[in-house]
Chains A and B, each alone.
Chain A
Amino acid sequence: ILNVEQSPQSLHVQEGDSTNFTCSFPSSNFYALHWYRWETAKSPEALFVMTLNGDEKKKGRISATLNTKEGYSYLYIKGSQPEDSATYLCAFNAGNMLTFGGGTRLMVKP
């Protein structure tokens, strides 16, 4: 059974704050690490797919880093906005399936 852990479980920040969350995953049988943004009643939205140790990806104010040797990835949001409020999921790809973490629920107060 693969163990994918995310922390914190939830996070409240003020508009304009920068924040980051952690995803830890097994360091063996690694194909890719995926990040998704999931708003209530919508589909999970793909943010990044990361495959190489040391990968850094950026999309607007959101960026992510990857360390496959130690089994962790960080997601950063710079200057949080209320529309960033969502659950952020990471998922470990070991081949045929994604194993999801429990998510970090971010709430940004105006």
Chain B
Amino acid sequence: NAGVMQNPRHLVRRRGQEARLRCSPMKGHSHVYWYRQLPEEGLKFMVYLQKENIIDESGMPKERFSAEFPKEGPSILRIQQVVRGDSAAYFCASSPQQKTDTQYFGPGTRLTVL
């Protein structure tokens, strides 16, 4: 059973470009979470999705950021018109159910905005 997959592992974008980060959850997991680690900071929650639904996006910046988890295919975190402050490591986690289940983390995507 493959773990949580994220790609790309490293992504370089220039200011104003779009960044698309992909996450494939573990087999059988229908709950996906995105977390961000800014430089010198800890992991911070961004958004929680189930298939085709956003359940909690309280940690998402209000502008330029969006997330989806379609019926088929990976979850996508999309950042439009990136700025230098978006440079961070973005981690995806999945769980079979919500609440008290273990969240299994992917290796992260390191986004660098030039």
In Å, the complex CA distance between A46 and B3 comes to: 12
A73 in the interface, Cβ–Cβ < 8 Å? no
Q: Number of B interface residues, CB 8 Å?
A: 26
Please tell me which one of the listed residues A31, A42, A98, A103 contacts residue B103 in the complex, with CB atoms under 8 A apart.
A98
Known: A43-B105, A43-B106, A98-B33. A93 touches B59 (CB 8 A): no
Residues of B within 8 A of A98 (CB): 33, 35, 43, 45, 93, 103
List residues 36-65 of chain B with CB under 8 A from any CB of chain A.
Answer: 42-45, 48, 55-56, 58-59
A43 touches B108 (CB 8 A): yes
In the bound complex, residues from chain B placing their C-beta under 8 Å from that of A91 are: 43
- The reply to whether B100 and A31 form a contact with Cβ atoms under 8 Å apart is yes
Given contacts A43-B3, A43-B4, A43-B106, contact A100 B100 (CB under 8 A): no
Cβ of B101 under 8 Å from chain A = yes
Q: Does B107 contact A (CB under 8 A)?
A: yes
Chain A, interface size: which category? 20 to 34
Q: Which residue of B lies closest to A97 (CB)?
A: B45
User: In chain B, residues 58-99, which have Cβ atoms closer than 8 Å to a Cβ of chain A?
Assistant: 58-59, 91, 93, 98-99
Q: How far is the CB of A108 from chain B (nearest CB, A)?
A: 22
Chain A residues near B99: list those with CB within 8 A. 31-32, 93, 95
Instruction: Please tell me if the beta carbons of B42 and A49 are within 8 angstroms of each other in the complex.
Output: no
Taking a contact as CB atoms under 8 Å apart, the answer to whether A34 and B103 are in contact is: yes
Docked complex: A51-66 residues within 8 A CB-CB of B: 51
Q: CB-defined interface of A91-105 with B at 8 Å, one 1/0 digit per residue?
A: 101011111111100
Take A49-B100, A49-B102, A97-B33 as given contacts and tell me if A89 and B107 are in contact as well, using a CB distance cutoff of 8 Å. no
Residue contact A100 to B104, C-beta cutoff 8 Å:
no
> In the complex, what's the smallest C-beta–C-beta distance from B11 to chain A, in angstroms?
16
B residues touching A (Cβ–Cβ < 8 Å)?
A: 3-4, 33, 35, 42-45, 48, 55-56, 58-59, 91, 93, 98-108
